[in-house]
Amino acid sequence: MDAIIIVLIILVVLVVIALVQTIQVIQQASAAIVERFGRYTRTLNAGLNIVVPFIDRIRNRIDLREQVVPFPPQPVITQDNLVVNIDTVIYYQVTDARAATYEVSNYIQAIEQLTVTTLRNIIGGMDLERTLTSREEINAALRGVLDEATGKWGIRVNRVELKAIEPPTSIQDSMEKQMRADRDKRAAILQAEGVRQSEILQAEGAKQSEILRAEGDARAAALRSEGEAQAIRTVFEAIHAGDADQKLLSYQYVQMLPKIAEGDSNKLWIVPSEIGDALKGLGGNLNRLTGAGDNDNGGGGNGGGQPALDKPPAPRERPRIE
């Protein structure tokens, strides 16, 4: 009786194990490789799958989602013989689980080594400056080579990114000094441009000020000339309105001569031609006044009280123009 129970227990255990091995549940975005007696039979996709227990064996399960693998920094020599450390990040996806299992033993290690060798080939044809400024070019070239090489492994490389490019410490110091010098140069140029612009604005302001001052002086001179002209017209009209005779004009002209002669620098006189006529009129008036005074004093010199005959005035000498 005990033996029968033991046998039944063993059979139940075997049935449970068989059911467990027969029913295989594969997760979404995953695949499983099935081998029968060590030979590839089929690939199990996501969902519920049935296999033959104790005959079929699941070798490995492969994740079909996109994977991100960062690789450690790798020393790479540039064309100008400088060693730089480059960190890379690979984005890949398994498209064929069978090829990824049987075509390469470890596809992650294979991708890493292929990335390092390809990166050294690409960077070896560039100098340091181009390496630092051509990340997109390096990424595209690296992705093209990796995608072509990993295609037969059932791997598709979606993206390749250079995480960091670190030149030697001495080169970094030199680059920092160069950037500092460039910043100082740009600052000096901007300062010089500012000073130049300021001087230009000041010159423009001075120019406008001089123009406005000149316009003001010209307007003031014009107004002054108009005032003087108006004064001359007023005097001329007053003279004609008063009907001044030649005697008054001659007397006023003689009074103005001392004012004309004022000043040490007035060595040259401009005497108009009408001054002779004015002096003649003034001399005649003076003679007539003198003759009238002699007649009033008695007239004894002519013998018998006869009026003395007026002598014609002697001609006056014209003033010379020096």
Among 66, 71, 65, 68, residue whose Cα is nearest residue 162: 71
Domain assignments of the chain as residue spans, ordered by start: 2-62, 67-167, 171-224, 244-286
Q: How far apart are CA 55 and CA 71, in angstroms?
A: 40
Residue 280 class from Cβ within 10 Å (0-12 exposed, 13-18 middle, 19+ buried)? Answer: middle
More confident residue, 69 or 281: 69
| pLDDT tens-digit map of 23-33 | 888 889 899 99
Residue 306: predicted pLDDT: 42
Report pLDDT for 31.
Answer: 92
Side-chain-side CA neighbours of residue 257 (13 Å) = 14
- CB-based contact 137:144 (threshold 8 Å): no
The per-residue pLDDT for 256 is: 65
Q: What is the pLDDT of residues 149-192, one digit of tens each?
A: 888 899 998 888 888 888 878 777 777 788 888 888 888 898 89
Query: Minimum mean pLDDT among 92-101, 112-121, 226-235: which range?
Result: 226-235
Neighbours of 251 (CB within 10 A): 14
pTM assigned to the model: 0.51
Q: Which residues pair with 44 in a beta bridge?
A: 32
pLDDT digits (tens, 9 = 90+) for 12-25: 888 888 887 788 88
Query: What pLDDT score was predicted for residue 321?
Result: 39
Residues 200-224, mean pLDDT to the nearest whole number:
89
Q: What is the mean pLDDT of the chain?
A: 78
- pLDDT confidence band for 309 (50 / 70 / 90): very low
Weakest-pLDDT range from 16-25, 168-177, 218-227, 287-296: 287-296
Give the helix ranges, DSSP H, for 124-168: 128-133, 135-150
pLDDT over 60 (residue 108): yes
Query: pLDDT at position 8, please?
Result: 81
The percent of residues in the chain predicted with pLDDT above 70, rounded, is 74
CATH architecture assignment, domain 67-167: 2-Layer Sandwich (3.30)
Residue 275 has a pLDDT of 57
